[in-house]
Amino acid sequence: MPAFVEDISAETPRPVRTPALTQRWTDLAFLHWPVDPARVAPLLPPGTVPDTIDGVTYAGLIGFRMENIGFLSGPPIPYFGTFCETNIRLYSVDGEGRRAVVFLSLDAERLLPVLVARVTLRLPYVWSRMRLTRTGDVLDYRSRRRWPGPPATSRIRIRTGPAIPDPSPLDHFLTARWGLHTDAWGRTIHLPNEHSRWPLHRAELLDLDETLLATAGIGVSGPPVSTLYSPGVSVAFGKPR
């Protein structure tokens, strides 16, 4: 770990002054399992190490809907700017002490955003058949891979619960992330983001049947230790650094 690591904060420590990309994340299901930092360290970009809390790091399976992607100050992109997404992520910290996420896979419903993200930032996006439905307080997230890579599927069903008025340090650790690290074009890039404080809710996991974690090289056993829901936030990404 670097000598200095920024605090775990519910508010962004680095405001994005000139957005390069805007979007909204809605109806998020956060599922997390504890993993040994030594086991996942080789999966992180050079110059980063696993971020930990109480000596443990976590692997996350997150399903949601991406909405209204727009570039710079332009309007949202019609059709291609809204789609379902499910990602597998780890938690990282770099030499400057910036906490972030590292995506091992990102399944998305639209082919064009998959191609753009793979080419520009080398993010491991995958084109998948996906569906997110809601019946009352039950949300159902489904995904089946199309291209590229080995087959993988995911189904998550949760029942949303009450709002969390005072999220725990672990709740913040797993959700309040203000950037991503990725290995692109021969160097590790940090892409900062900014959004309002997460509105978090407890959630009950009703059903989970997935192969995304194992396909990404993450072995977990048993149910997730943390299941959270959020109605969503609007997000601004800054320029890569």
Domain residues of the chain, as ranges?
21-233
The pLDDT of residue 106: 98
Question: Is this prediction's pTM over 0.85?
Answer: yes
| pLDDT tens column, 133-182 | 999 999 999 999 999 989 999 999 999 999 999 999 999 999 999 999 99
The pLDDT of residue 167: 97
| Cα gap 129→56, rounded to integer Å | 33
Rounded average pLDDT over 201-209: 98
Rounded average pLDDT over 190-217: 97
Q: How does residue 225 score in pLDDT terms, banded at 50, 70 and 90?
A: very high
Mode of pairing for the β-strands spanning 99-108 and 125-135 = parallel
CATH number of 21-233: 2.40.400
Rounded average pLDDT over 56-61: 98
Q: How does residue 14 score in pLDDT terms, banded at 50, 70 and 90?
A: confident
| pLDDT tens column, 20-58 | 999 999 999 999 999 999 999 999 999 999 999 999 999
- Res. 217: pLDDT tops 90: yes
The pLDDT of residue 200: 98
- Res. 3: pLDDT tops 90: no
C-alpha angle 144-65-121 in degrees, rounded to nearest 5 = 80
| pLDDT tens column, 64-114 | 999 999 998 788 898 889 999 999 999 999 999 999 999 999 999 999 999
Q: How does residue 4 score in pLDDT terms, banded at 50, 70 and 90?
A: confident
Q: Which percentage of the chain shows pLDDT scores above 90?
A: 91
Q: Residue 58 is which amino acid?
A: Y
Q: Read off the tokens for 115.
A: 């191609």
Contact in structure between 62 and 29 (CB atoms under 8 Å): yes
Residues 32/116/76/155 CA torsion (nearest 10 deg): -30
Q: Of the candidates 224, 211, 191, 203, which has an alpha carbon nearest to the alpha carbon of residue 28?
A: 203
In terms of C-beta density within 10 A (0-12 exposed, 13-18 middle, 19 or more buried), how is residue 227 classed? buried
SS (H, E, C) the chain: CCCCCCCCCCCCCCCCCCCCEEEEEEEEEEEEEEECHHHHHHHCCCCEEECCECCEEEEEEEEEEEEEEEECCCCCCCCCCCEEEEEEEEEEEECCCCEEEEEEEEEECCHHHHHHHHHHCCCCEEEEEEEEEEECCEEEEEEEEEECCCCCEEEEEEEEEEECCCCCHHHHHHHCCCEEEEEECCEEEEEEEEECCCCCEEEEEEEEEECHHHHCCCCCCCCCCEEEEEEEEEEEECCCC
| Cα gap 125→87, rounded to integer Å | 9
Q: Which residues, listed in sequence order, are joined to residue 108 by a DSSP beta bridge?
A: 85, 127
| Cα gap 223→19, rounded to integer Å | 37
